[in-house]
Amino acid sequence: MFNFIIFGPPGSGKGTQSVQIAEKYNLAHISTGEIFRKNIREKTELGIKVQSIIESGELVPDELLVAILEDAMDSRNGVSGFVFDGFPRTIQQAKDLEVCLKKRNDAVSMVLALEVNDEEIVERLLKRAQDQGRKDDTREVIENRILVYNNQTQPLCSYYKDQELLISINGIGSIDEIFNKICELINARI
């Protein structure tokens, strides 16, 4: 199995790239943000619990992620692996993912970090707010999400670097350029 983590600040393009990578390599795309948004739309118990957290740009508590992850992985058969998009976001989640994969005699194969500077991110997310109307794409929430990313998620870079799993690329460029670069890196690994 090829278990690929795509990692980057909000607005770095990881969602767009994940969809294309999943399709090309027959991987299941797991976006925890999408799972939460679906639950909020459907007003499930989970959705009601996480709505205000997500709308403030904070992270949903780690303990809620484990069940979601297991569920998402169990519901996908016949794939050659997973693309994890927006997960893990904390060191604890990275450890939980390892346990979950180990249970399946599996492991993380590769972590790709998309590097995009803060000014570019704010600009991209404000544009996305106009196009998609996401509730967490207001300037105030965007600034908080960047702060949360830098404080809680960025430390994962050195965690995966130490395990020699991390590859960083510049996330500024056309969607196709970045996709081709990612494919080259994946092809060199599989």
Q: Which residues bind ligand AMP (CB under 6 A)?
A: 10, 32-33, 36, 53-54, 57-60, 65, 86-87, 89, 93, 136, 145
State the amino acid at position 117 in one-letter form: N
Helix, strand or coil for residue 6?
strand
7/30 Cα distance (integer angstroms)? 13
Q: Which is nearer to ligand AMP, 49 or 181 (CB)?
A: 49
Query: Residue 2 or residue 149: which is nearer to ligand AMP going by CB?
Result: 149
**Minimum gap (Å) between residue 126 Cβ and ligand AMP:** 15
123 phi and psi angles, rounded to 5 deg: -60, -45
| Sheet with strand 166-170: strands edge to edge | 28-31, 81-85, 2-7, 110-115, 166-170
Helix, strand, coil abundance in the chain, percent, nearest 5? 60, 15, 25
Torsion sign across C-alpha atoms 144, 145, 147, 153: positive
With CB atoms as reference, the residue minimizing the distance to ligand AMP is 33
Taking the complex as a whole, the smallest distance from the CB of residue 93 to ligand AMP amounts, in Å, to: 6
What are the E-state strand segments in the chain? 2-7, 28-31, 81-85, 110-115, 166-170
Comparing CB distances to ligand AMP, the nearer of 70 and 184 is: 70
Q: How far is the CB of 58 from ligand AMP (least distance, A)?
A: 6
Give whichever of 93 and 188 is closer to ligand AMP, judged by the CB atom: 93
For the bound state, the minimum distance from the C-beta of residue 160 to ligand AMP, rounded and expressed in Å, comes to 15
- For the CB of residue 89, give the shortest distance to ligand AMP in the complex, in Å: 4
Minimum CB distance to ligand AMP smaller for 2 or for 7: 7
